[in-house]
Amino acid sequence: MNPSDKATAEAYYEGGMRAFESKDVKNALALFLSAARLGHADAQFRVGVFFYHGIVVNRDEREALKWFHKAAMQNHLAAMSELGIMYAEGKKTQHSPAKAYEWTRKAAEAGHPQAICNLASFYERGVGVEQNFTIAVRLYEKAADLKIPEACFALSHLCYKGIGTKEDHARSARLCRKAADLGHREATLGTGIVYHEGDGVEQDDEIALRYFKLALSMGMPEAKRFIDEIEKTQGIKL
């Protein structure tokens, strides 16, 4: 990209960001597209997001893949990570576990937190690579340290079962609560269950009830049964 195009692309991109922040989403996409066509990697990624999620356009995974690929070829880590997800899912695009693994690995090795978590999942499930729980645990630990809630929750499960690491219910409970506190819905319900049952932690229905109510507010109807049970048997009202 020559200096003139680079300056123009940056101006389009900044305008797109201002429009997006002002909730003028249609104009934001138009400006991002203008920047993307001039080779602006961040804009290319954002255009991919618009098409992938169907934001003010019809959802088009092939178009999303095209723009993610353009950005990824410029070493855009989030775009690499998204490519990995799309090739792994392979819904309306090519299903390629090998490509999913390679793009995810590149982003993970460059330090992208979500890609590190996704790569751990690939090792756990054997997607594009030989299944290896020990490597999966190591990668989940790294992503959990970077506060990726899915990594905390997945690692909690492996610690509970003793898969790829020693069985440790106390560590599992800590990780589950960490995931919950980072906004993970299933972990929020799970944390309630952990404290309700006293599995890996000291039994505490006050804490359990707090997490169950939060889980219910997050769209986890299973939590209602536990709330009713606790309030009926102990009369706790927070």
The model's pLDDT over 162-185, given as tens digits with 9 standing for 90+, comes to 999 999 999 999 999 999 999 999
Rounded-to-integer distance, Cα 151 and Cα 200, Å: 19
Tokens of 236: 């706790």
Taking the chain, what is the end-to-end CA distance rounded to the nearest angstrom? 60
177 & 123 share domain = no
Rounded-to-integer distance, Cα 183 and Cα 188, Å: 7
Tokens of 56: 């003010």
Rounded-to-integer distance, Cα 8 and Cα 16, Å: 12
pTM of the model: 0.91
We report the CATH number of the domain holding residue 210 as: 1.25.40.10
Vertex 84 angle, CA 78 and 88, to 5°: 150
99 & 19 share domain = no
153 & 236 share domain = yes
Q: How many domains does the chain have?
A: 3
The model's pLDDT over 65-80, given as tens digits with 9 standing for 90+, comes to 999 999 999 999 999 9
58 & 6 share domain = yes
47 & 131 share domain = no
Rounded-to-integer distance, Cα 55 and Cα 58, Å: 7
Q: How confident is the model at residue 39 (pLDDT cuts 50, 70, 90)?
A: very high
Tell me the residue range of the domain where 104 lies: 77-141
Single residue among 125, 141, 157 that ends a domain in this structure: 141
Single residue among 74, 107, 132 that ends a domain in this structure: 74
